[in-house]
Amino acid sequence: MKGMIPALGGGNAPRIQVHKTALISAGPEICFSQHVVQRGMSSIALKMQPCREPPPVIRLNRDSTCICEGRERAQYDPTKPTFQRDCVIYGLAGAVRTSIELQKCPICPGRRRRYVGPDPRTEGLFNYNNRILVTHELLDDYTSVYTSSETPFTAYVTVMQRRYNSNQAASSEFMPEAMFRAVWFAYVNLQDFCGDMCCQRCGPSPQDIIWDGVTVGFNQKHLLPSLRPPTISDDGAPIRTNNYIGKQQILQDAKLRRDLRRVVQRGKGKGKRRDTVVSEDDENSEPILDKSDAAVKAEVEWLKLIPDVFLHLSRIDEGLGLLFMEHFGLSAEAVASKVYKNLFLQLAADESTFQMLNKAALDQLRVFNEDPCDITASQLIGCPALL
């Protein structure tokens, strides 16, 4: 089960990428107990008791580590000071709050606020991020439900929320679906399923497979000896030595990008609102009709956004702020033209800056990268985001 994990919950479910180094509980998890029982194997999973009553304080142990991104993780040092922080443990019957013992990471930069946290897998707990812990019993329960009836995440989270609501002694809120999906994928990525996912008759590479209810077939001409399932890693596959570089947007402030889009798309027109959901930041925006209290409230909020957006744009570049006020300010004489709308929408996009470069600009950038010096610096004129 290690490696590639199928996406669950329907075709619109967001893709989940799990890294082993991004978890506190990074040690090898025990076999899934139900699979072990079916095979008649002896395992520690059969001897461990589920976590019924969480400890008042989850202490650091010898397996405690940080989520350092380097090759080696910071280990727990008994000679250094520790402190306690609140955390939540989610179980089958409800969620309880308790305390967890942490230690400041000596390797990670202080601005990242990372800590060495305990790995309480021997207590039947899975430590996701030092704030959210989930019992093995809950995660194994979904694994059993999914493998037996293909229950999607949405249905299981709904069942768990109803179960939490029926338990008056427990917390009334279960974790969101996106969080549960990320926790479960991280958990099964560490589990050892003891070869259960391999067909005993066909082996690891069956001739025909059924994936998400659709039979995947290949034409006879594609049945080459080199054809392998996507779960097999090729020896010649490229290895990336660096991680994805975040914050490649022109405007780094996500709130500023969202407010700028709302102002530009609203414009100075009359009648119906034309707000459009363009990113995850705007998923709470809904079209609202005029001649209603909601429309008046939306109009007031829009008017308040204009000076705020102008102030933040002026801090980045004074000319950019003045250009915004000239075409989208309260004193603008006419509706802004499509050219300026597209310009500010591109500046407020959540995508990488390099998506705004055309082929000619990319060719000039390639010339500069081959010989970066003062002479070739003029090649960056077509890449304003880099200047």
Return the C-alpha torsion angle 276, 280, 281, 283, nearest 10.
Answer: 50
Phi, psi of 89 (to 5 degrees): -110, 120
Please report which helix (H) or strand (E) contains residue 134, including its range. Answer: strand 132-135
113: pLDDT confidence band, cut at 50, 70 and 90?
Answer: confident
Backbone φ/ψ region at 280: left (φ over 0), alpha (ψ -120 to 50), beta: alpha
**Interval 7-37: pLDDT, tens:** 333 334 333 344 444 566 655 554 444 333 3
Report the pLDDT averaged over residues 121-133.
Answer: 89
Burial class for 219, CB neighbours closer than 10 Å (0-12, 13-18, 19+):
exposed
Q: Which range, 34-43, 75-84, 327-336, 376-385, is most confident?
A: 75-84
> Which among 101, 166, 163 has a CA at the least distance from the CA of 138?
163
255: pLDDT confidence band, cut at 50, 70 and 90?
Answer: very high
Which residue(s) pair with 117 in the sheet?
Answer: 65
- For residue 285, pLDDT beyond 50: no
Structure tokens at 89: 């443990």
pLDDT at residue number 288: 36
d(CA 201, CA 207): 11
d(CA 334, CA 188): 58
d(CA 108, CA 68): 6
- Report whether 367 contacts 377 (CB < 8 A): no
**Interval 116-125: pLDDT, tens:** 889 888 888 9
The count of other CB atoms within 10 Å of the CB of residue 69 is 14
What is the pLDDT of the chain when averaged over all its residues?
A: 76
Structure tokens at 325: 């006020």
Report the pLDDT averaged over residues 306-310.
Answer: 92
Whose tokens are 């025990």? That residue is 30
Please report which helix (H) or strand (E) contains residue 183, including its range. Answer: helix 177-190
Longest dimension (CA), the chain: 80
Non-local (6+) Cβ contacts of 21 within 8 A are: 67, 68, 69, 73
- For residue 348, pLDDT beyond 80: yes
